[in-house]
Structure 1
Amino acid sequence: MNNSDDTISINLVRLWRTFSHARKKQFIALILLMVLCSFSEILVIGSVVPFLALIANPNSNFMGSIAASALHVISATNIQDIRIVASIFFALSVLLAAIFRTILAWATTYFSFDLGADLGQRIYRAILNQPYSLHINRSSSKVIDSITNQVNGIVYGTTLPLLHLLSATFLGLFIFGALILVDPTITLISFIGFCVIYLCAALLTKNSLKRNSLFCAYESHRVLQSLQEGMGGIREIIIDGTQNIHAATHSEIDLNLRRAQASTLFISLAPRYPVEAMAIIVMIGVALTLSLGNSNAGELIPKLAAMALGAQRLLPLLQQTFSSWSSLQGAQHSVAEALDLLDLPSEASRLQSIGNISFKRSINIERLAFRYAIDQPLVLKNINLEIIKGSRVGLIGVTGSGKSTFLDLIMGLLEPTSGVINIDGEEKINLSNSRQWQRHIAHVPQNIFLLDRSIAENIAMSDSGSQIDYIRLNRVIRQASLEDYINSLPDKFDTCVGERGIRLSGGQRQRIGIARALYKGADLIILDEATSALDSETERAVIAELDRIDNDVTILMVSHRPETLKSCNFIYEIKNGCLKEVKQI
C-alpha cells in the first residue's frame, strides 16, 4: 500500500507544479469554500436538536435553560415564538448548507475541467514542439490517447477525486465533531467501525486497482490504434472484405478495457452496502439503548434525530472518500504518462535567440553522414554538395536509397551524425537554429497533408481565414493548374476538401500542396515526388510554371520520371548512401 500511496503523492506533487499561479489561487479558494461548507453542516446538525426538542417536549429539563435564554435574546413572550424562531433557523441552516454544497460542486467541477483543458493544450503544444526525430519513433495513436484519454484520466482520476476527497474530509471532520457533542461514545464506536470496513476494503483491493490502472492505460492505446487502423485503411478493408476481422479485434480490446473500468468502478462502490447495513443496525442499537435508559421521549427523539441526520450526512462522505481513493489508485499510470509528456523539454526552449538566417548565395554540404540509431548502419555517408541559390536541382535514386532522409537533413528536421550543412558558408544548420532556416523552406511531399477545411484554408495554412491574401491565392492556383478545377466548383475556394482530402483526387491534392508552397513565398522549394500523381500534360504545365517563378527561388526536386527533371541545372543520384552527379538520365 505504501508504494501505491507514494505513487499518488509523487503524481500529486508533479501535478501541483503544473498549476499556473492563477490555478493555485483558485485551488486555495476551493479549500476555503470547503471549510465554509463544513461550517454550514455544523449549523444543520446543531440546529436540529433544539428544533426537535422544542417540538417534542419544550418543558423538558434539556430545554429549560435554552428556552429561558432564547426568550430573553429574541424578546419572545412565549414558547411558541421560540418554536417559530427555531424552525426558521433550522430551515435557513439547511438552505444555507444546500447553497454552499451547490456552489462547491460547481466550483470543483469547473476547476477540474478547466485544468484538464490547460493540461490538454500544454501536452499538445509540448508534443508539437518536439524534434522531428522523436515524432518518427512515436505512435500517433499513443499521442492522441495522451491528449484525450490520459488528460481525462487526470480530470476524472485525479483532480475531481482529490477535490472530492478533500471536501469529504473537511465535511466529515466537522460533522464528526458535531456528533461528538451529541453523544461521544456512540459516535466514536460507530465511526471507528465504519473506518475499519473501509480500511479493510482498501487493503483487499489496492493490488486489483493497481493492475487495472496499468491495464486500462495499455488497452486505451490499443483501442485508439485499432480505430485509426480501421478508418485509415477503410478502402482496403472494404475491398478485402475484412470488416468482421477488424471489428472482432476492436471488440475484444474494447471489451477488455471496459471490464477493467467496470472492475475499478465496482471496487469503489462495493463497501457502501455493508456500511449502510451496519449504520442501520447501529441506529437500531442506539434507539434501543437510549429508550431503555431514558423513557423521556422529549430528550430521546432530538438525540436520535441528530444521530440519524449526522449519519445521513457522514456515510456518503466516507463512501466518497473511499471512492475517490479508488479513482486515484486506478488512474495513476495514465496520469504518470500524461505528466511525463508535460515534462518533455520543448524544442522551442532549445532554440538560440539569434536573428534570421539569410540565404543569399548557396547551401554548402560537407562530409555529411547520417544514421537513425547508433546500432544501425549509415543511411548517408560522405556527401558533399553545393546548391547555388536560384538553381534547379534534381535528385534521383531507388526507393529506400535515402532521398527523403537527405531532404529532412537539408530542411533541419534531422541533425547529421557527422558533417555540416552551411548556409552562405556562415550559418551551420542544427536543431538549435533550424526554426529560423525553415522559414525559408516550402516542402511538398508525395502524400499531401490536408485539413478538413476549405481549399483556401489548405493553401494558406499559415494564415487565418481573415488574413488570406486572395490576390496571391489566385496567382498560385493558376501556377499550380488549379484554376479550372476550382472555378468548376459551386463554392469555389470555400469548398471543403474532406478529411485528409478524401473528396479530391491524388493529383488535385498534389496541386494544392504545390500551391501551398508557392503561397508561402519561400526561397527554397523542395518537391519530394510532388508531381507523381499528375498526368503528363498537367505535370508539364506545373513544371513550366515553376520554371517561370523568380530566379532567386531555389528548387530541389525528387522524381522517378526523367522528363520531370529535364529543366534542372544539376541532377544527382543517391546510391548506396553516396551522392554523385548524373550527366544524363
Structure 2
Amino acid sequence: MKTKFLTESTQLNSLKKLGYLISSKERRFAIILLILSLIKALIETIGVASIMPFIAVLSEPSLIETNSILNKMYQISTYFGVSTKQSFLFALGLLVFLFLMFSLALNAFTQYLGIRFIEKCHHSISRSLVEGYLNQPYSWFLNRNSALLGTNILSEASQVVSMGMKPMIEVVSRGVVIIFMFVLLLLVDVKLALSIFVVFGGAYLLIFKYTKKILRRIGQERYIANQQKFATINEAFGSPKDVKVKSLEKVYLDQFSNSSLTHAKRSTTAGILADLPRYILEAVSFGGMLLVMLYLIGQKGNFSSALPIISVYAFAGYRMMPSFQRVYHSISMMRFCGPVIDTIYDTFKNLSPIEKKHSSTKIKFEGSISLKNIYFEYPNTSKSILKNINIKILNHNIIGIVGRTGSGKTTIIDIILGLLEPQKGLLEVDGEEINRKNVRSWQKNLGYVPQHIYLSDDTIAKNIAFGVDQKDINQETIEKVSKIANLHNFVTTELPEKYDTTVGERGIRLSGGQRQRIGIARALYHNPKVLILDEATSALDNETEKAVMDAIDNIGKNMTIIIIAHRMNTIKKCDMIFLLDKGEIKKQGKFEDIITNEHNFIK
C-alpha cells in the first residue's frame, strides 16, 4: 500500500509548502534575493556578450575602422587618452575584465545573502517547531514520541533548509542565468541556440523522469531511518542501568548501526542520482562543442570570422553547463527531501494556535476548589476514566485521594493542575470556572510533586529554583524549602560543594529519595497556595517520609495540600479522603471511615 509520503500533494507543491514554513519577513527577503539574482544574471550575460567584440578586434584589428559601433567607441575613447588601436584593444580588454570581476563580486555578495537567508530560515523553522510543541496542550503530548519531536527539531528542520530552501534558491538563481544566456545565444544564432537547449534540456528532463520516483521513495526511507536512529539513542541512553544489567549494549548498537547505515546508503544514492547527468553529459558537451565549432566555421567560411561567435558560445557554455547541472541537482534534492517537507508542513498545519496573551496575576484562592460532575476519557479511546466526579476541597485542608492503579487518581490531579480539560463538568476555584483563558493564572497558585522527578544536569540550587534565571535565585528561599523537605542537612553536611553540587543528568548521582526531596523543595520554592503530591513520598524510607509529612503537616496550616498515596501512614492526617474505584468516587470521609471497610483499596 502506498504511504502518504508517496502521494503527490493535490493542494500545495513543495515550493508553496516551503513558503508557508517561513515568516513574511523571510519571504520578503527571498524576493530581494530573486531581484538580485535577476540583476546578477543580466550583468553576467552582458559580461559574456562583451567578449565577442573584444575577440573580434583581437583577431581582426581592422574592424575598428570598418565596424561603425567599434569605430564610434574608438572615437569616444580618444577623449580619455586612448591614441592608438593597440591601446584601444588594451582598454577594451580591461573593460571586459572589470565587467566580469564586477559580475563575480555581485555573485559573491548574492551568495553571502543567500547563506544568511538559509541560516535564518533554519533558525526560524527550528524555533517555530520548539515554540509550537511547547505551547500544545498537555493531552497532545500523551500521543507523541519525544524522540520524533527531537528528530524534527534537531535534524529534519536542517534537512528542510539544506535540501529544500537552499536548492530552491539555487534553482531560481541558476535558472535565471540559463534563461539570460539562452536569450543571448538566440540573438547570435537562433537555430544553434534552440538545438543546444533542446538537446541538453531534454536530456536532463528525460533523466529526471526516471529518477524522480526513486528519489521520493529513498527520501521516505531516509526519513524513517533517521527517526529510528534518534529513537534508539533515546532508549539506549535514557535507561543506562537497564542496558547494563540486561547486557543490551550490542542490541542497541546493532539497531543504531542498521538505521545509520540505511540513512547513509539512501543519502549516497540520492547524491549519485543528483549528479548522474553531469557524468553522462560532460562527454556530450565536449563533442557538442566541437560540432558547434565546425558548424560556425562552415557558416562563416573561415576560423577568424567564426572565432568571436565561438568565444561567446564557449563562455556561455562555461556558465550554462554548471547552471544546468545545479538546477537538476537542486530539483533532485528537493524531490529527495519531499517527505520531510510534507511532514514539517503538516506538523505546522496541525499544531494548535499559540495563545499569546495570558493573565499575569494569580487567581485568588481563598475558599474552595470544586470539581463538579466531571467526566473524562483520553483521546482515541472509548473508555471513561472518570465518571461523575464531585469533589470539594476547602482552603487549608489536607486532602487524600486513594484507589487502585488505574482508578483515575492521577487524571483528577491533572484536571486540577489545568493540564487536562474534562469532556463534561467544571473545575471551579472560589466559584470561578477555570478555562483556557485563565488556567495560567490558576497554575501560579500550584506546587506539584510527581512520582518521578525530572532533574537537569545542573546544580541542586538550580534544580530547586527550576526555570529561574541564575541571577534571580534566592538562596535564602532555597535553604528554607530544603529544610521543609528534609534535604538541607544532607546537602550541607555530605556534599562538599553543597547547593552548587551538580546532580548529573536526570539526577543520576543521587538516590531516589534525594531526588524526591529536591522535587518537594522545588514545588515549595514559589510559595504555592496549593501543594499537590502525586505519590511524592513513595520513594522515601519510612523515617524520611515521616519527617517530610510532619513538615508538610505544619505548613498545611497555611496551604491546601492534595495527596495521592498508597501508604496508609501518608494519609492519616488528611481532613478528607476520597476513595476511587473504576473512575468513580466509591467513598469519602475521614481516615477511620475509609480504612474500616476498604483496606484492600490501599496497598
Tell me, yes or no, whether TM beats 0.5. Answer: yes
Residue 489 of structure 2 is aligned to residue 484 of structure 1: yes
Distance 1:352 1:16 in 2: 30
Cα displacement string for residues 476-528 of structure 1 (whole angstroms, at most 9, x for unaligned residues): 12222222333343443333322222222222211111111100211111111
Q: In 2, are the aligned partners of 1:50 and 1:63 still within 8 Å (CA)?
A: no
Indicate the residue corresponding to 2:368 in structure 1.
362
Displacement of 1:451 after TM fit? 2.0
Indicate the residue corresponding to 1:252 in structure 2.
258
Displacement of 1:154 after TM fit? 1.9
Cα displacement string for residues 180-221 of structure 1 (whole angstroms, at most 9, x for unaligned residues): 233333222111100000110121112112212332333322
Q: Which amino acid aligns with 1:478?
A: K
Q: In 1, are the aligned partners of 2:52 and 2:309 still within 8 Å (CA)?
A: yes
SS at match of 1:401: coil
Change in 2 beyond 3 A, CA 1:374/1:18: closer
Indicate the residue corresponding to 1:562 in structure 2.
568
SS at match of 1:420: strand
Cα displacement string for residues 342-361 of structure 1 (whole angstroms, at most 9, x for unaligned residues): 22354643988797533111
Indicate the residue corresponding to 1:508 in structure 2.
514
Residue 192 of structure 2 is aligned to residue 182 of structure 1: no
Indicate the residue corresponding to 2:591 in structure 1.
583
Indicate the residue corresponding to 2:37 in structure 1.
34
- After TM superposition, which residue ranges in structure 1, 4 or more long, deviate above 6 angstroms? 350-355
Which of residues 206, 214, 217 in structure 2 aligns to 1:200? 206
Change in 2 beyond 3 A, CA 1:571/1:306: same
Q: In 2, are the aligned partners of 1:62 and 1:299 still within 8 Å (CA)?
A: no
Which of residues 423, 427, 434 in structure 1 aligns to 2:439? 434
Distance 2:66 2:127 in 1: 60
Change in 2 beyond 3 A, CA 1:366/1:536: same
Change in 2 beyond 3 A, CA 1:378/1:550: closer
Indicate the residue corresponding to 2:411 in structure 1.
405
Indicate the residue corresponding to 1:46 in structure 2.
49
Residue 387 of structure 2 is aligned to residue 384 of structure 1: no
Q: In 2, are the aligned partners of 1:7 and 1:332 still within 8 Å (CA)?
A: no
Change in 2 beyond 3 A, CA 1:6/1:95: farther
SS at match of 2:355: helix
Alignment of 1:532-571 (within 5 A): 532-549=538-555, 551-571=557-577
Q: In 1, are the aligned partners of 2:372 and 2:427 still within 8 Å (CA)?
A: yes
Displacement of 1:533 after TM fit? 1.9
Q: Which amino acid aligns with 2:473?
A: I
Distance 2:413 2:89 in 1: 87
Indicate the residue corresponding to 2:448 in structure 1.
443
Worse overlay, 387-396 or 212-221: 212-221
Indicate the residue corresponding to 2:579 in structure 1.
573
Displacement of 1:5 after TM fit? 7.3
Worse overlay, 193-202 or 334-343: 334-343
Alignment of 1:62-461 (within 5 A): 64-75=67-78, 76-294=82-300, 296-346=302-352, 348-349=354-355, 356-373=362-379, 375-424=381-430, 426-461=431-466
Q: In 1, are the aligned partners of 2:57 and 2:64 still within 8 Å (CA)?
A: no
Q: In 1, are the aligned partners of 2:221 and 2:266 still within 8 Å (CA)?
A: yes
Worse overlay, 164-173 or 176-185: 176-185
Distance 2:66 2:292 in 1: 22
Q: In 1, are the aligned partners of 2:270 and 2:333 still within 8 Å (CA)?
A: yes
Which of residues 462, 467, 475 in structure 2 aligns to 1:470? 475
Worse overlay, 287-296 or 179-188: 287-296
SS at match of 2:454: coil
Displacement of 1:135 after TM fit? 0.7
SS at match of 1:549: helix
Distance 2:115 2:204 in 1: 26
Q: In 1, are the aligned partners of 2:369 and 2:428 still within 8 Å (CA)?
A: yes
Change in 2 beyond 3 A, CA 1:408/1:350: farther
Q: In 1, are the aligned partners of 2:455 and 2:507 still within 8 Å (CA)?
A: yes
Distance 1:336 1:502 in 2: 39
Structure 2 regions of 5+ residues with no counterpart? 1-5, 596-603
Q: In 1, are the aligned partners of 2:64 and 2:70 still within 8 Å (CA)?
A: no
Q: Which amino acid aligns with 2:61?
A: P
Distance 1:562 1:63 in 2: 112
Distance 1:380 1:466 in 2: 44
Indicate the residue corresponding to 1:21 in structure 2.
24
Cα displacement string for residues 99-140 of structure 1 (whole angstroms, at most 9, x for unaligned residues): 111111111121012112111111111111111111111111
Q: Which amino acid aligns with 1:109?
A: I
Structure 1 regions of 5+ residues with no counterpart? none
Q: In 2, are the aligned partners of 1:60 and 1:299 still within 8 Å (CA)?
A: no
Q: Which amino acid aligns with 2:491?
A: I
SS at match of 1:532: coil
Indicate the residue corresponding to 2:58 in structure 1.
55
SS at match of 2:591: coil
Q: In 1, are the aligned partners of 2:374 and 2:386 still within 8 Å (CA)?
A: yes
Displacement of 1:341 after TM fit? 2.2
Displacement of 1:294 after TM fit? 4.2
Indicate the residue corresponding to 1:529 in structure 2.
535
Change in 2 beyond 3 A, CA 1:533/1:464: same
Change in 2 beyond 3 A, CA 1:240/1:550: closer
Distance 2:99 2:7 in 1: 40
Change in 2 beyond 3 A, CA 1:406/1:63: farther
Indicate the residue corresponding to 1:10 in structure 2.
13
Displacement of 1:7 after TM fit? 6.0
Q: In 2, are the aligned partners of 1:54 and 1:63 still within 8 Å (CA)?
A: no
SS at match of 2:350: coil
Distance 1:120 1:340 in 2: 15
Q: In 2, are the aligned partners of 1:367 and 1:383 still within 8 Å (CA)?
A: yes
Q: In 1, are the aligned partners of 2:373 and 2:390 still within 8 Å (CA)?
A: yes
Q: Which amino acid aligns with 1:439?
A: K
Displacement of 1:273 after TM fit? 1.6
Distance 1:89 1:7 in 2: 52
Q: In angstroms, what is the RMSD of aligned CA positions?
A: 2.4
Displacement of 1:6 after TM fit? 5.4
Q: Which amino acid aligns with 1:404?
A: T
Percent identity, aligned pairs only?
Answer: 30
SS at match of 2:50: helix
Q: In 1, are the aligned partners of 2:397 and 2:556 still within 8 Å (CA)?
A: no
Q: Which amino acid aligns with 1:264?
A: A
Indicate the residue corresponding to 1:494 in structure 2.
500
Q: In 1, are the aligned partners of 2:359 and 2:440 still within 8 Å (CA)?
A: no
Distance 1:233 1:40 in 2: 60
Q: Which amino acid aligns with 1:118?
A: S
Q: In 1, are the aligned partners of 2:376 and 2:385 still within 8 Å (CA)?
A: yes
Cα displacement string for residues 152-172 of structure 1 (whole angstroms, at most 9, x for unaligned residues): 232022211111111011111
Q: In 1, are the aligned partners of 2:50 and 2:96 still within 8 Å (CA)?
A: yes
Indicate the residue corresponding to 2:599 in structure 1.
none
Change in 2 beyond 3 A, CA 1:351/1:578: farther
Distance 1:200 1:74 in 2: 50
Displacement of 1:62 after TM fit? 9.8
Q: In 2, are the aligned partners of 1:362 and 1:389 still within 8 Å (CA)?
A: yes
Change in 2 beyond 3 A, CA 1:5/1:274: farther
